[in-house]
Structures are given as structure tokens and as C-alpha cells.
Amino acid sequence: MAYSLGAKIRELRGAISQEELAEKINNAYGTTLNKGMISKWENNLIDPSLETARVLVKFFNITLDELLGLDQKSNSATIQTIAAHHDGEDWTEEELQDLEEFKEILKLKRQLKKNRE
């Protein structure tokens, strides 16, 4: 069965209503979400924006990979490999974290494109 971002959001929402979820996220992050937006996500009619996806992962305390249903097993090793092949430079922990975040953004863009197809 294909992964459904909408089903994942519905699962994360749990027993609270879409309206309650929007209110909680808006209060916590100053966003302007509403019940209709969440309904469209859950029914796979639209995908959350990248910025909204960032808010969702913070709110639900999960990774972007978890939200998107991506495999997390090799992320750290992949980032280390990418960093190791860049002109022999030493990378700081902060730079490695930046690479990880950039990789997650690219995965999100790929998943959003795939969901639209």
C-alpha cells in the first residue's frame, strides 16, 4: 500500500478535532491554519507547504522523514559520506546538521512532487 501523507497527519492528530489541532498549532507557532486546510491535507487534496511541514514536525515532535514516511536508517551515514567527499574539508557539527536539514528539504520536495503525480 502506498504511503499517504494525509493518513499520517490524521494518525498524528489522534482524537482531537481538526479545529482543535489548528487552534493548538496556531497558538503555539503563530500560524493561521484552519479546519479546512487540515481536512484537505488528510484527504490528500493538497499538501502542506514546506514551512507548514516544519511546524507540523515541531508540533508532533517527529522528524520530517517520519512525517513523509521515508526510511531513516542510513541518514547519518549518508550525510557523513557527502561531507567526506567535499574537497577534504573538515565539517563542524553545525555544518553537518545544516546538510541534514537540507537533505530533509530535498526529500520533502521530492515527496510533495510524487504526491501530486
pTM of the model: 0.62
- Are 98 and 43 contacting, i.e. CB atoms less than 8 angstroms apart? no
- Are 69 and 22 contacting, i.e. CB atoms less than 8 angstroms apart? no
CA of 57: how far to CAs of 77, 80, 110, 111, in Å? 22, 23, 17, 15
- Which 3 state secondary structure label does DSSP give 21? helix
The percent of residues above 70 in pLDDT, for the chain, comes to: 80
pLDDT digits (tens, 9 = 90+) for 14-38: 999 999 999 999 999 999 999 999 9
